[in-house]
Structure 1
Amino acid sequence: MLTSQFSIRNINFKSEQVFMLSALLVNGGNYLYNLILGRMLGPTQFADAAILITLLMVLSFMAMTFQLTVAKFTAGSVDEDQTVFVNFLKKISLFIGVILGIVIALFAENLQILLQTSSKAMFYFFAAGIPLYFLMSVNRGYYQGNKNFFKLSVTYQGEMLSRLGITIILLWTLNTDSSLLIAIGILASFIFGLLPYKKTTSTSIKKSVLDNKNTKSVLLFISITAFYEFTQIIINNSDIILVKHYFEAYEAGLYASLALIGRMVYFVAWMFVMILLPTVVKMKKNGENTLPVFFKYLSLISLLAGSIVVATYFIPEFIIQLMFGKAYLAMAPLLWKYALATSLFAISNVFVYYFLSLEKYIPVIASGVFGIAQVSLIIFFHKSLEQVVEIQIIAMVLLLVIQLILFFYQQNKNVELK
C-alpha cells in the first residue's frame, strides 16, 4: 500500500490533503466544463446539454454503489481478501452495466420524446459508456478503501480533463449536433478515467471466490447502498428532468444553469464524504470512537454550505453573470433558494454516509421517502420555476430534521447500552 504522505521540497503532504486539493480542481474543472457549454450554446441548446450532464450525474450516483461497496470491504483487509472482493464486484458491475446500456439504447427514441431532445443518437453513445463507468468506479473503490488517494485523484483528474478538452475541441472543430459531440466527449472521458487501472489477473486470484457469509454481506450492502444512491438520484436530479419535461427549452436551460451553480455546495461536500467513509469503517474495526471525525466533517460541510448560501444571497447577479453570462440573469432571485435546498441535502448526506459506514440503514430509508415525496410534489406543483425550488427547500428541511432525530435517538440508545 502507498505511504500516507509524500514530500515536495521538504514540505510533507498527507494523501488526504492531496485528494482534497485534487477534488477541488476536479470540481472546478467540471464547473468550467458546464460554464463553457452554457456560454457556447445559449439557454435553448444548453437544455439538451444539461440532460446529458444530468444523466452523467445519475450514472455517477449509480456507480457510487460499487465504489462505496469496494471501499468498505477492502478497508483494513489483507491483500488477498481485497482482490477477491474487487474481482467479485468487477463481474457484477460489468454485467449490470451491459444490461443497463442495452436498455437505454433500445429506448433511445422514447427518451428523445420524453425529454424533448434534438437527437436520439446521443443516448447511444452514452449507453456505450455505462459498463466502462461502472468498471472505473470499482477501480476507484479499491483506491478509496486503501486510502490511496494519490491514484484515486489521478482517475478523477483524467476523467475531468479529457472530457473538458475533447468536448471543447469537438465543438470548435465540427459543425454538427452539439448534443452528439458532448456525448462523444463523455464516452471518451470514461476511458481516461480508468487509469491507473488495478489489474487482478493471476491464476490464484481467478480461482478465488467469496464464501457464502461474505457474499451475503456484500450483496446486502450493495442493495442498501444502491437504494440510497437511487434516492440521491431522485433528490439531486429529478428536478432538472421534470423541468425539462414540463417547461419550454429556454426556461429549462435557465433552470439548468441555476441548478449547476446551486449544486456547488454538494460537489464540495462530496470530497469530504469520500474521506469520511473509509476512515469511519477503519476506526470502527479498531474499536475507536467515530464521533469526533463525524463532527469534524459535519462542521466543515456546514460551514462551507452556509458560506455559499450567503454569497448567493448577496451577489446572485454577479455570480450568474460571471459563470454563465447575461443571458441567464433571470435566475438570480432564485439562486440562494436553490443553494439552500442543496446545502440542506448535503448536510443530510453526512449523516447518511456516516450511518452507512456503521451499517445502520434507517436513515437511508428516510432519504428514499423524501426523495419520492419531492418528485410527487413537483409533479403536482410546477406552475413556476420558483415553486419548483421552494418545494425542494421544504422537502430538504424535513429530511434534515428526520436525520437529526435519528442521530440523537441512536446516540441515546448507545449511552443506555453502555
Structure 2
Amino acid sequence: MLGVAGANYVLNLVLARSLSAAEFGDANLAVNLVLIAAAAAATFQLLSARSGPTDERAGIDSRRRLTRCAWIIGGCAGAGMALGSSALADAFNTSTPWVFVVIGVGLPVYLAQAVARGALQGDLRLAHLALSYAAEAAVRVGIGVVMLALGYGAVGAAIAISLSFVASALVARHRAAAAGTGLAGSGSRADTESRVTAALSVAATVLLTAQVVIANGDVLLAKVLMAPEAAGDYAAAAVIGRGLYFLSWAVVHSTFPVVARAHSREQRRRAVHRALLMVGAIGVSGVAAMVGAGDRLAPVLLGDGYHDAAAVLVPYAIATALFAAANLIASVDLAVGRWHGAAALMTGAVVQTLLLVACGTTPMSMAVAQVVAMSFTALLVGAAHLWDNRTELRSFQPASVADELGEH
C-alpha cells in the first residue's frame, strides 16, 4: 500500500516538475481518478478480508459474489466514464477527454482484483499482498515516466495508470490462486450469513462514498471553481498534504483484519489503541513538518513554479490528519459490523462539500473550509464510536450477570 502511495507521489512530482500549473492540473486529475478507484477497491478488499478464512466454503462463496459485483460496478462506471468523457472534460476544464476514456477501460480490472487482494489480506499473507502493490507501483511509475518523456502528458499518465491496474491484477490473482483462495468457487451460504454480508456491504458502500468525497472532492471542486492556474497550485499542495492520509491507510489495512478476527473485546481495544497512536503520530509529525519546512518543501519537491502552494500546506495537513483519524475509527468499526461510524463519516463528507462549494473560491479558503469540516467529522465519528462502545457494553453486562447467576 505504501509502495502504491509512493508511486502516486513520484508520478505526481515528476508531472509537477515537467508541466505548467494548468497542465499539471489535468494530469493530476488522472491521478485523482486513481485515488477514487483505489477507495472503491479498498472497500471490496476490506469486505473480502472480512469474509473469513480462504479455505472455508463461506469465504469462497462470499468472494465469488464480491468478484461478480466488482466486475459489474467497475464495468458500469468505466462505461459511464468513457461514454461521458466529453461532458466530463467540459465540467472539469480538461484539455482532452481521453483521460476519462483510458481510466474507464482499466477500472473493472482494478475493482475485481481487489477481492483477490482482500483474500491475501484476510489470511495475513502480507508478503504476497505486497508483491501486488509493488507490481502496480513499478508499472505506474516506469511507464508514466516513459510516456511523459514521449510528450503524452496527462493521457500518458492515464495509460500508465490503466496498465498498472492490469499488472496488479495479474499478480494478485496468481498469488491468491497459489494460496488456495478459490475465488471462483460455487455454492451458497446460509441465509443469515448472507443477510449479514448484505448489511455489511451497505455500510461499506457508505464508508467508501464518504472516503471518495472527502479525499478527492476538494481537488475536483478546485478544477470547477478556480482558474486553471489556481487549481493547479491547489492540486500541488494536495500532492504533499495527502501523504498523511496514505500513510494512515497502511495502518488501516493492517489493523482491519486483526480487529475483525479478534476473539475478545480486550484484543480489539488494544489493536484500535495501537492504530490510533500510530495515526496520531503520523498526523502530528506531518503537521509539524509543514509548519517548520513547508515553505521550503514545496519548491524542492514541485519546482519553482509552485511557491503559492506552500501557503496552504499547514491547514491542508491539519485537515488531512483529522480525516485520517476519523477514517481509521470508521473503518475499524466496520470491521466488527458497526455502521454508525460510516454514517458519521458520510455526514462529514456532505458538510465538507457544502462548505467547499460555498467558500472554496481560492486555495486558502478551500483549505480552511476543510479544517472546519474535518474537525466536525472527527468529533462526530468519535461520538459514534463511543456510543457503539457504550451500547455494546450495556448488552454485554446483562449476559455476564445471567451467566454468573446460572453458575450459582
Shorter-chain TM-score above 0.5: yes
> Separation in 1 of the partners of 2:283 and 2:359?
27
Q: Deviations over 1:16-48 (max 9, x none)?
A: xxxxxxx44443332111111111112111000
Q: Which residue of 2 aligns with 1:79?
A: 56
Matches within 5 A, 1:12-161: 23-74=1-52, 76=53, 78-161=55-138
User: Given the alignment of the two structures, is residue 272 of structure 1 paired with residue 248 of structure 2, yes or no?
Assistant: no
User: Given the alignment of the two structures, is residue 291 of structure 1 paired with residue 269 of structure 2, yes or no?
Assistant: yes
User: What displacement does 1:101 show?
Assistant: 1.2
User: What displacement does 1:60 show?
Assistant: 1.0
Matches within 5 A, 1:6-405: 23-74=1-52, 76=53, 78-172=55-149, 174-176=150-152, 178-194=153-169, 195-197=171-173, 198-199=176-177, 206-284=185-263, 289-405=267-383
Q: Deviations over 1:239-264 (max 9, x none)?
A: 10111011111111110010111111
Call closer, same or farther: CA 1:322–1:203 in 2, change over 3 Å: closer
User: What displacement does 1:211 show?
Assistant: 3.5
Q: Which residue of 1 aligns with 2:402?
A: none
> Separation in 1 of the partners of 2:104 and 2:54?
34
Q: Counterpart amino acid of 1:260?
A: V
Q: Counterpart amino acid of 1:72?
A: R
User: What displacement does 1:331 show?
Assistant: 1.7
Q: Counterpart amino acid of 2:242?
A: R
User: What displacement does 1:321 show?
Assistant: 1.6
Q: Deviations over 1:125-177 (max 9, x none)?
A: 111111101111111111111111011101111001101001111221x334x
> Separation in 1 of the partners of 2:31 and 2:210?
18
User: What displacement does 1:71 show?
Assistant: 0.6
Q: Which residue of 2 aligns with 1:13?
A: none
> Separation in 2 of the partners of 1:202 and 1:270?
24
> Separation in 2 of the partners of 1:305 and 1:412?
27
User: What displacement does 1:237 show?
Assistant: 0.7
> Separation in 2 of the partners of 1:149 and 1:139?
12
Call closer, same or farther: CA 1:272–1:208 in 2, change over 3 Å: same
Tell me if the contact between 2:54 and 2:181 (Cα under 8 Å) persists in the aligned partners.
Answer: no
Which has the higher mean CA deviation after the structures are superposed, 257-266 or 208-217? 208-217
Q: Counterpart amino acid of 2:12?
A: N
Count of paired positions: 392
User: What displacement does 1:206 show?
Assistant: 4.5
Call closer, same or farther: CA 1:205–1:185 in 2, change over 3 Å: closer
> Separation in 2 of the partners of 1:214 and 1:170?
47
> Separation in 1 of the partners of 2:151 and 2:172?
34
Q: CA RMSD in A?
A: 2.0
> Separation in 1 of the partners of 2:309 and 2:101?
32
User: What displacement does 1:404 show?
Assistant: 2.3
Q: Counterpart amino acid of 1:87?
A: R
Q: Counterpart amino acid of 1:41?
A: L
Q: Deviations over 1:368-399 (max 9, x none)?
A: 11101111111111232211111110011111
Q: Deviations over 1:305-357 (max 9, x none)?
A: 10110110111122112210111111212101100000000011121112111
Call closer, same or farther: CA 1:384–1:204 in 2, change over 3 Å: closer
Percent identity, aligned pairs only? 24
> Separation in 2 of the partners of 1:404 and 1:210?
34
> Separation in 2 of the partners of 1:366 and 1:169?
43
> Separation in 1 of the partners of 2:132 and 2:183?
27
Q: Counterpart amino acid of 1:191?
A: V
Tell me if the contact between 2:60 and 2:186 (Cα under 8 Å) persists in the aligned partners.
Answer: no
> Separation in 2 of the partners of 1:408 and 1:207?
40
SS in 2 for 1:290: helix
Call closer, same or farther: CA 1:87–1:411 in 2, change over 3 Å: closer
> Separation in 2 of the partners of 1:350 and 1:242?
25
User: What displacement does 1:80 show?
Assistant: 3.2
**5+ residue gaps, structure 1:** 1-22
Q: Deviations over 1:281-323 (max 9, x none)?
A: 1114x67531011101101110111011011011112211221
Q: TM-score, normalised by structure 2?
A: 0.91
SS in 2 for 1:369: helix
> Separation in 2 of the partners of 1:410 and 1:230?
21
Q: TM-score, normalised by structure 1?
A: 0.89
